Amino acid sequence: MATRSGKSKLSTRKKAAAKKPPREPGARSQTRRIDSQPDLVPADLRDREIYELHRLFLQIMEGDRLLTISNETKGHYLTVMRSLTAKLSVPGKPLSEIISEMMAETAPLIFRLMQS
């Protein structure tokens, strides 16, 4: 999708991301930058760290990282993320159960990829 200047949003986003120094995973920014819905930012410190780490993960994946992943790997990634998302969406399902199921589902894939 192109902006009025004719540049794509992706290239504009890349330039904006390139100007920012990278943060360590889990590091909190000195300023609280919340784009659209400040009421969704958790008040609890640990919850806020998780929230910010998820935002950083999305920023990294939607930036240059996604462009470097092969189509085959993207297929594996989508399979794993769809399964994880479906499991996380079940209300009250314990994380320990989700982790056990994900380990059982992904172990064969991980071993196969390690051997290739």
Tokens of 104: 């059982």
Per DSSP, 68 falls in state: T
- Mention every residue, 6+ apart, whose C-beta is less than 8 A from residue 42: 48, 50, 51
Give the per-residue pLDDT at 92. Answer: 97
Give the per-residue pLDDT at 32. Answer: 43
Give the per-residue pLDDT at 6. Answer: 52
- Global pTM value: 0.60
- Mention every residue, 6+ apart, whose C-beta is less than 8 A from residue 62: 13
User: Which residue ranges in the chain fall short of pLDDT 50?
Assistant: 1-3, 9-10, 12-14, 16-23, 25-34
The whole-angstrom separation of Cα 102 and Cα 26 is: 23
